[in-house]
Structure 1
Amino acid sequence: MKTVLITGTSSGIGRAAVLKFNNEGWNVIATMRAPEKETALNQLDNVLVVALDVQKSASIANAIVAGIDKYGKIDAVVNNAGAAIFGVFEQATEDQVNKIFDTNVFGPMRVLRAILPYFRTQRSGTIINITSQGGRVTFPTCSIYHATKFSLEGLTEAISYELIPFGIRTKIVEPGSTVTKFVGGAVVTGGEIPEYEQFVNIGLGNWAKYDTMASQPEEIAETIFTAATDETDQLRYQAGQDTELYLGKMQDGNDQAYVDYMRERFIPEYLNTKK
């Protein structure tokens, strides 16, 4: 039996991924910040629920050791834990920016630093970083979030070259909108600059209006499982109808055509206005 370690499994995509891998016969190290609150996953055969906070290196190392002690090895790691932030860049506090980067960028980096020595020694392993359609395309009022996901995309693509000599496969899964608690738990940048209020309301309002293609977390979990098991060197995996729509628009036309499309779709009230 193969073994996968997944971060951020208390809900949403991470939880669905645990169930998918478990149903397919894998051992699963299901990690979360507060495993003492879990009442269902820890009842499953071949699922080990352990504490892991991506902001704490010691907890990551402890989870990896616990997983290896339990199952003998780790074959794949899914960096799923993440957080959202909405609002315009200028209104984001330094603390908000630091916290979201610590979770979405430095967190996966800590997991990678902890698992890579093991994978190099093993001469095999699969890393799957869950980024977002927001790691390839951008929406108004999501600038800080995009900065984190573009960073994770770039890091993952770059290390995919570095890890080839060790037989380590590196994958990126790019979900679109998903029916989870992710958006509801998002941080919103402050409102201390009233000139932005109308823009934020328009941008978020239009985003919500078009958010009609949200995937179920189980659909994203299917893509994650494919990335873990297809035994190819494919780097990116798109997940969700809206991801296919927006990335398709970006890839089909020239860069400016794509930017114009997104402006007209999400902030048409601000186009062709004299300053």
Structure 2
Amino acid sequence: MRTILITGCSSGFGLETARFFLDRNWSVVATMRTPRPDILPASDRLRVLPLDVTEADSIAAAVGAAGPIDVLVNNAGVGLLNALEGVTPDRAYEVFATNTLGTIAVTRAVLPQFRERRAGVIVNVTSAVTLRPLPFLSVYTASKAAVNAFTEALAVELEPFGVRTRLVIPGRAPDTAFGENARARMGMDIPEAYADRAATLFAEMRRSTEPLTRPLDVAAAIWRAATDPACPMRLPAGADAEAWAAAA
């Protein structure tokens, strides 16, 4: 039985991915900052572990408790919507600490077992905003674009050891808790010079009829990345992400 470790499973893409792999008879290690086993179906193939990807001790404890795994999915992330002038250094650091440095740190912790076995898959979840630049997302986009570059360079580094790395690039999914968290971080601190433009943009987004990304789209893309060695490096997930990728 194959085992997958997924970060950020408390909601959205991570939660759906854990369900998806459980349904396909995988052993799942679902991690989250505050474990909530009740949100996933009871199974003897499921373990729910605490993991804060910004804390080295937490990473070491979770990886140690998980034991041997076949696939790592770095999904944990935080959002941020604001003009750059409204982003404090602490907010910017928080976004990079989770989205970028957290992905690197968890990967580094898991990598020795993959290298020694000469097998394993690392799937990093980023964002379609790296394909189509948008205003008020500069810091968030930078944190995810860094993961894109990290993943592609790491693929070359690990190829001699039989370890694969892949990118899953979701589009916009406003019905997830991630979107709510991003709006919460935006708060009311958009600088006055940008306020009118921001209000117009957010109103247009609410009225948009563009197809969006469902958590199931992302789970299916992660499944392909984990199980199909011939799949491309970058897998857009969701109708909007696929359209943006085709136009890029």
Partner of 1:64: 63
* Match status 1:183 vs 2:183: no
Distance (Å, rounded) in 1 between the aligned partners of 2:76 and 2:176: 13
Shift of residue 160 of structure 1? Answer: 0.8
Q: Given residue 196 of structure 1, which amino acid in structure 2 is its aligned partner?
A: Y
- Residue by residue over 1:1-20, the C-alpha shift from the partner in whole angstroms, topping out at 9 and shown as x without a partner, is 00000000011110110011
Q: Is the 8 A contact 1:141 1:204 kept in 2?
A: no
Q: Given residue 232 of structure 2, which amino acid in structure 1 is its aligned partner?
A: Q
SS in 1 for 2:156: helix
Shift of residue 153 of structure 1? Answer: 0.6
| Count of residue correspondences | 245
SS in 2 for 1:85: coil
Distance (Å, rounded) in 1 between the aligned partners of 2:79 and 2:210: 19
CA RMSD of aligned residues (A): 1.5
User: Identity over aligned residues, as a percent?
Assistant: 37
Shift of residue 192 of structure 1? Answer: 6.3
5+ residue gaps, structure 2, are none
Q: TM-score w.r.t. structure 1 length?
A: 0.85
5+ residue gaps, structure 1, are 251-275
Partner of 1:199: 197
Q: TM-score w.r.t. structure 2 length?
A: 0.94
Distance (Å, rounded) in 1 between the aligned partners of 2:205 and 2:39: 34
* Match status 1:172 vs 2:172: no
Distance (Å, rounded) in 2 between the aligned partners of 1:29 and 1:136: 30
Distance (Å, rounded) in 2 between the aligned partners of 1:202 and 1:220: 29
Partner of 2:155: 160
Shift of residue 180 of structure 1? Answer: 1.1
* Match status 1:43 vs 2:42: yes
Distance (Å, rounded) in 2 between the aligned partners of 1:200 and 1:164: 44
- Residue by residue over 1:205-229, the C-alpha shift from the partner in whole angstroms, topping out at 9 and shown as x without a partner, is 2233326412221221011111100
Partner of 2:81: 86
Distance (Å, rounded) in 2 between the aligned partners of 1:25 and 1:225: 12
Greater Rg over alpha carbons, structure: 1
Distance (Å, rounded) in 1 between the aligned partners of 2:17 and 2:55: 23
* Match status 1:232 vs 2:227: no
Q: Is the 8 A contact 1:105 1:151 kept in 2?
A: yes
Partner of 1:219: 217
Q: Is the 8 A contact 2:83 2:190 kept in 1?
A: no
Distance (Å, rounded) in 1 between the aligned partners of 2:90 and 2:204: 28
Taking a change above 3 Å as real, the CA distance of residues 145 and 211 of structure 1, as seen in their structure-2 partners, is: farther
Q: Is the 8 A contact 1:85 1:189 kept in 2?
A: no
* Between 154-163 and 225-234, the greater mean CA deviation after superposition: 225-234
Partner of 2:103: 108
Partner of 2:129: 134
After TM superposition, list the pairs within 5 Å mapping 1:241-252 onto structure 2.
241-250=239-248
